[in-house]
């Protein structure tokens, strides 16, 4: 939808940014260049080398996790984590079949599709579990319902949205009771912690098999790259083998199982290696951004993405806001386009995102829940009150709560780049205020 914000009287006096303010862009410090150059100087321009070994060791140590395996991206880590879980549960599959063929897997619903696509890569069927409003992650009450409906399920894929950990103590308890394995997607939450039975534990170590991402927009980056994390040496060795085409112990290329070319590059690892010392600094910068938004937007009918401070410490990767229901202006979304209209004292994600974009800043809608995606529209969806499909009735009125759909409708991700200055952030806060005039 096109609107001329720069000439709209409501926004009078606000200057366009000279340089684009990004949602979350890489923040380089110089050490990255050193380790990339070192890889080239020593000719370790390969998927082997000291940068990879160091990244694996330093992140495993930082997280307090047994083993890390450097891979080409977080998606590759999630794929091999999911495949490994499938093989543990249901045995080795034929080369042309996934390990989850014929099986259902409970999955976070409001996340990036990379979290849960590996279930389909492995021929399984994702059952989407609705979101809770306290942290915007998998709802343990909906997970419990899902186990009532599908008691045979043995695998749960759980993500931590925008760097805020979910209710992991409850989720782990439910999974243990049902003898289910957990694949933890900590792609967005490196450095965030959860309290489990009184102990603070890092995300990325909470599942049986875990993944983090070094994608260009993450809290630290390699431009791409990811890690598979586990406490089992045998499992780490298996993933390392799969990621390098599953070569057997023979002098020639011998293969007994299907393989992948998923290993991390030593050049990419050089960038990650240079970033690791700055992880805590990035988290502090992101925290300051979250707090400035919280304070600056406190007088508006909005709230920030919620955090359960008693049981978690986020890494504040992205700051988000949610518009109060009674302050939502008309806003509808089709499959690829949206329409919004302005109403005095109200606004909508569409209007706010378009307004900040007109002034040169990048925001983003909340992840569209997986159960609403055309790709997965025929997959089951379970909410805290049971089956989430086919819940309205043409002849009987009533409401049905779909928490993820509601957050998607009313929420948005704010520019959260850790190089944004306070003045720039204040200008974004001012633009958001003007949207509600």
Ligand X SMILES: Cc1ncc(COP(=O)(O)O)c(C=O)c1O
Question: Alpha helices of 297-384 — where are they, by DSSP H?
Answer: 349-358
Q: How far is the CB of 336 from ligand X (least distance, A)?
A: 21
Q: How far is the CB of 214 from ligand X (least distance, A)?
A: 6
For the chain, what is the largest distance between any 2 Cα atoms, rounded to a whole number of angstroms? Answer: 74
Q: Which is nearer to ligand X, 129 or 358 (CB)?
A: 129
Q: How far is the CB of 246 from ligand X (least distance, A)?
A: 21
Q: Which is nearer to ligand X, 188 or 208 (CB)?
A: 188
Q: Which is nearer to ligand X, 60 or 114 (CB)?
A: 114
Q: How far is the CB of 394 from ligand X (least distance, A)?
A: 37
Q: How far is the CB of 407 from ligand X (least distance, A)?
A: 15
Q: How far is 206 from 215, CA to CA, in rounded Å? A: 21
Residues that bind ligand X (CB under 6 A): 73-75, 111-112, 114-115, 159, 185, 187-188, 213, 215, 226
Contact 138, 108 (CB under 8 A): yes
Q: Which is nearer to ligand X, 98 or 225 (CB)?
A: 225
103 DSSP assignment: -
Q: Which is nearer to ligand X, 72 or 230 (CB)?
A: 72
Q: How far is 283 from 335, CA to CA, in rounded Å? A: 35
Q: How far is the CB of 217 from ligand X (least distance, A)?
A: 7
Contacts of 396 (CB under 8 A, 6+ apart): none
Q: How far is 93 from 21, CA to CA, in rounded Å? A: 47
Strand partners, 209: 183
Q: Which is nearer to ligand X, 44 or 367 (CB)?
A: 367
276 DSSP assignment: G
Q: Which is nearer to ligand X, 75 or 99 (CB)?
A: 75
For the stretch 56-72, what's the b/e string if a residue is b when 16 or more beta carbons lie within 10 angstroms of its beta carbon?
A: bebbbebbebebbbbbb
Strand partners, 215: 223
Q: How far is the CB of 213 from ligand X (least distance, A)?
A: 3
* Cα 86 to the center of its chain, rounded Å: 22
33 DSSP assignment: H
Q: Tokens 């994608």 label which residue?
A: 215
Q: How far is 244 from 252, CA to CA, in rounded Å? A: 14
Q: Which is nearer to ligand X, 221 or 348 (CB)?
A: 221
Q: Which is nearer to ligand X, 191 or 226 (CB)?
A: 226
Q: Which is nearer to ligand X, 364 or 391 (CB)?
A: 364
Q: How far is the CB of 137 from ligand X (least distance, A)?
A: 11
Contact 431, 11 (CB under 8 A): yes
Q: How far is 55 from 52, CA to CA, in rounded Å? A: 5
- Closest residue to bound ligand X by CB: 74
Q: How far is the CB of 215 from ligand X (least distance, A)?
A: 4
- Cα–Cα distances in angstroms (integers) from residue 241 to residues 54, 80, 260, 418, in the given order: 19, 11, 9, 37
Q: How far is the CB of 62 from ligand X (least distance, A)?
A: 18
Q: How far is 111 from 313, CA to CA, in rounded Å? A: 19
Q: Tokens 């190089």 label which residue?
A: 419
Q: Which pair of tokens denotes residue 346?
A: 């109200």
Question: Beta 226-230 vs 209-213: how paired, if at all?
Answer: antiparallel
Q: Which pair of tokens denotes residue 320?
A: 């988000």
């Amino acid at each position: 939808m096109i609107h001329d914000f720069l000439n709209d009287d409501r926004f009078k006096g606000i200057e366009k940014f000279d340089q684009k303010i990004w949602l979350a862009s890489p923040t380089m410090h110089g050490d990255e260049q050193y380790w990339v150059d070192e890889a080239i100087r020593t000719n370790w321009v390969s998927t082997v080398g000291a940068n990879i070994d160091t990244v694996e060791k330093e992140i495993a140590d930082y997280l307090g996790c047994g083993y890390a395996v450097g891979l080409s991206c977080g998606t590759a880590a999630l794929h091999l984590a999911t495949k490994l879980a499938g093989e543990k549960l249901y045995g080795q599959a034929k080369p042309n079949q996934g390990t989850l063929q014929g099986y259902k897997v409970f999955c976070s619903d409001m996340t990036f599709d990379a979290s849960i696509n590996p279930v389909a890569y492995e021929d399984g069927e994702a059952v989407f579990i609705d979101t809770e409003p306290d942290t915007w992650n998998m709802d343990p009450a909906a997970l419990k319902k899902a186990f009532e409906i599908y008691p045979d399920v043995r695998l749960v894929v759980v993500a931590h949205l925008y760097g805020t950990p979910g209710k992991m103590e409850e989720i782990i308890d439910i999974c243990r009771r049902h003898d289910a394995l957990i694949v933890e997607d900590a792609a967005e939450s490196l450095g965030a912690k959860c309290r489990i039975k009184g102990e603070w534990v890092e995300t990325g170590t909470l599942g049986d098999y875990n993944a983090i991402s070094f994608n260009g927009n993450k809290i630290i980056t390699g431009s791409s790259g990811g890690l598979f994390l586990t406490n089992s040496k045998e499992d780490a060795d298996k993933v390392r083998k799969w990621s390098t085409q599953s070569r057997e112990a023979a002098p020639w290329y011998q293969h007994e199982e299907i393989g992948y070319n998923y290993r991390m590059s030593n050049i990419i690892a050089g960038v990650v290696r240079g970033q690791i010392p700055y992880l805590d600094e990035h988290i502090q910068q992101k925290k300051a951004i979250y707090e400035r938004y919280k304070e600056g937007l406190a007088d508006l009918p909005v709230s920030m993405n919620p955090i359960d401070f008693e049981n978690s410490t986020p890494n504040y990767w992205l700051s988000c806001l949610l518009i109060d229901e009674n302050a939502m202006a008309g806003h509808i979304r089709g499959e690829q386009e949206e329409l919004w209209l302005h109403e005095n004292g109200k606004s909508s994600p569409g209007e706010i995102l378009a307004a900040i974009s007109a002034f040169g800043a990048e925001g983003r809608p909340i992840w569209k829940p997986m159960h609403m995606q055309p790709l997965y529209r025929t997959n089951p969806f379970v909410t805290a009150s049971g089956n989430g499909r086919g819940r309205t009735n043409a002849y009987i009125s009533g409401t049905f709560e779909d928490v993820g759909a509601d957050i998607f409708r009313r929420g948005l991700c704010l520019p959260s780049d850790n190089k944004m200055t306070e003045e720039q952030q204040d200008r974004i806060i001012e633009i958001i205020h003007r949207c509600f005039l």
